[in-house]
Amino acid sequence: MSHNIGTDADPLFVLVTFAEGVLDAVVRATDAATFEAAARWAELKYEVTETTVDPETGEATTTGTGEWLTAAGVNIDHLGRVVVVAGTYDADGVELTAPTYDTRHHVNIRLIDPALSQRDAFGELKWEKWAAAWSMGGAPDTQINAAESGRVLQGVCLIDPTSISSPSRLWAS
C-alpha cells in the first residue's frame, strides 16, 4: 500500500511501502545510467571526496574523486530486465514459446536507518522529498506492464508497489 507522509486530515500518499522501520520502493528506468543519475539526485549515492591543503596558504579544498558509493542504510537490488510473459516448455524442458521481457532497468530499493533519518538543511526527511517529487511531480507512466501504475520523473518510474501483480524478486525478511 502507498504510504501517507501527510496527515489524516491532509493525506499525501507516496508510492512506497513503509513498515517497522523499513522503506521499500520499486523503480524502472530507461537504462542503468538513467537510474544511476536519479539515485545520485535522490542522495541514495554520494561522491567520495578528498581534501587537499595548499601548503602556502593553508587553504583546504574538497573535490570529488569521481567514485560514487551507496549511502549508509540504502540497499539497491538491480534486477535489470524482467519477464513479463513467461515462456512455455515441454516435459523435457524444451522451449515451446520464448518468454517476453521488459528490457528496461528494474531496481528494488530498501532504506533503513540511518538513511531513513537523514534530513536536509530545512529539517525535512530526504526520502520523503524524493518520494513526494516522484509521486506528485512525476508524469503518469504510459508504458506499463499488466495493471501497474507509477509516476515518471527524470526517466525513472516509481511504481506503486500495490499495482505489481507478480514481483520479480522480493527482499528477504
Q: Which of 110, 114, 132 minimizes the C-alpha distance to 3?
A: 132
Whether 98 shows a pLDDT value over 90: the answer reads yes
* Cβ atoms 117, 136 nearer than 8 A: no
Q: Which of 76, 68, 135 is nearest to 106 (CA)?
A: 76
Q: Is the pLDDT of residue 1 over 90?
A: no
Residue 56 domain flag: no
Residue-level pLDDT at 135: 92
Q: Report yes or no on 53 lying in a domain.
A: no
103 assigned to some structural domain: yes
pLDDT of residue 139: 96
With respect to residue 26, please indicate whether it lies within any of the assigned structural domains.
yes
Tallying the residues shown for the chain, one arrives at: 173
**pLDDT band at residue 144 under the 50/70/90 scheme:** confident
Task: Tell me the average pLDDT across 10-18.
Answer: 93
pLDDT score, position 2: 83
Domain count, the chain: 1
- pLDDT of 172 reads 67
The whole-number pLDDT of residue 89 equals: 96
Domain presence at residue 169:
no
- Please give the residue range of the domain that contains residue 108: 3-45+71-163
Is pLDDT of 130 > 70? Answer: yes
Stretch 91-111: mean pLDDT, rounded? Answer: 95
Mean of the pLDDT values across residues 142-156?
A: 92
User: Taking a C-beta distance cutoff of 8 angstroms, is the pair 23, 149 a contact?
Assistant: no
- Let me know if residue 60 belongs to a domain: no
Residue 9 belongs to some domain of the structure: yes
CB 67 within 8 A of CB 86: no
pLDDT of 173 reads 60
Q: Is residue 63 part of a domain?
A: no
Cα–Cα distance measured from residue 160 to residue 172, given in angstroms and rounded to the nearest whole number: 20
Mean pLDDT in the chain?
92
